[in-house]
Every structure is written in C-alpha cells, then in structure tokens.
Amino acid sequence: MHHPRPNGKDAPMTSPDHQEPDEATVRALGKLSEALETIERARGSLYSWHQLTGKADFELGDAVDLLARAGHQDLADELSRELVGRNVLPGRWSFQAVEEYDDSYYEPIRDFEKRARSGLADGRRHLFEARLKEQRRTHGHPHHTAGPDGNR
C-alpha cells in the first residue's frame, strides 16, 4: 500500500528544526523500525529456505546414486531427470528468488527506513526503545545504567 507524504512524492523527510522528535514521530519511527525488524526475520527465513532447498537438492542427488546402486535404475533416472536441479519457482532456483526479494522488497524498505530516520531523528535508531528504557530503568542502580559507559 502506498502512503504519499503530504509535501509530495519527492519532498525531503526532514524536520525543519532538528529538535528532539515529538512523541508521535517517535512512535511512527518505532513502528517503521518494528516493521523492518519483522522483514529482517522474514529475510532470514528466506535464506534458510534457500539453504535447505539447496541441501535437499544434493540429497536428491545422493538418492539417485543409491537407487541406481540398489538396482532401481529407472527410478534413479526419473529422479535425476525430473527433480534434481529443478526450478523451485518458474525459471528460478532459490538463490534467484532471494535476490529478487532483496532487490524489489528488502532494500527499498531498508533504504526508506534509513532515510526517514535520518530526516526525522538525525539518524538515531531505536528512539522508542531508548525512551522506554529511560522510563523503566532504576536510576542510580549499577545494573540500570543509561549506557555501557556507566552513565547513571
């Protein structure tokens, strides 16, 4: 679904004064970040599918050899001809599907999220989570510091 920006398609996504983003902007960037994290997980699953599919193809090749050694040459020939090296989608092996996903879906969303973050939050990531951490931590507690440098 396309959500046009109010200033037009090519309008820059920048805050005019570069002040701390308001709560609505932080929530919007948080939801955008959450969506990107979900897409990252989906992409990982896609890579798992790609690797498992490749592994299965080599296992099918092993099954061809074993069927032939067991005296089942007709089945070995059919398996080799019909299924070993077969396209998993019309005209595509799994690596091609992964590349198309990356090029047509993953990269454009990743680029948009980065551009939105740069324009609205000076490139800072996880503003929603940072605010949540600040609300939930116990100030002054050694295991609740604001950052790894020990700031309380």
Q: What is the pTM of this model?
A: 0.73
All residues at 6 or more sequence positions from 93 whose CB lies less than 8 Å from its CB, including other chains: 53, 87
Provide the residue ranges of all domains of the chain, joining segments of one domain with +.
24-131
Instruction: Give the side-chain half-sphere CA count within 13 A for 19.
Output: 4
According to the model, what pLDDT value does residue 129 have? 80
According to the model, what pLDDT value does residue 7 have? 40
According to the model, what pLDDT value does residue 14 have? 44
All residues at 6 or more sequence positions from 137 whose CB lies less than 8 Å from its CB, including other chains: 144, 145, 146
Q: One-letter amino acid identity for 152?
A: R
According to the model, what pLDDT value does residue 135 have? 80
Report helix angle 73-82 to 23-69, nearest 10: 150
pLDDT, averaged in runs of 10, over the chain (152 residues)? 42 54 91 96 98 98 98 98 98 97 98 94 82 82 84 66
Angle value at C-alpha 41, between 40 and 44, nearest 5 degrees? 90
According to the model, what pLDDT value does residue 2 have? 42
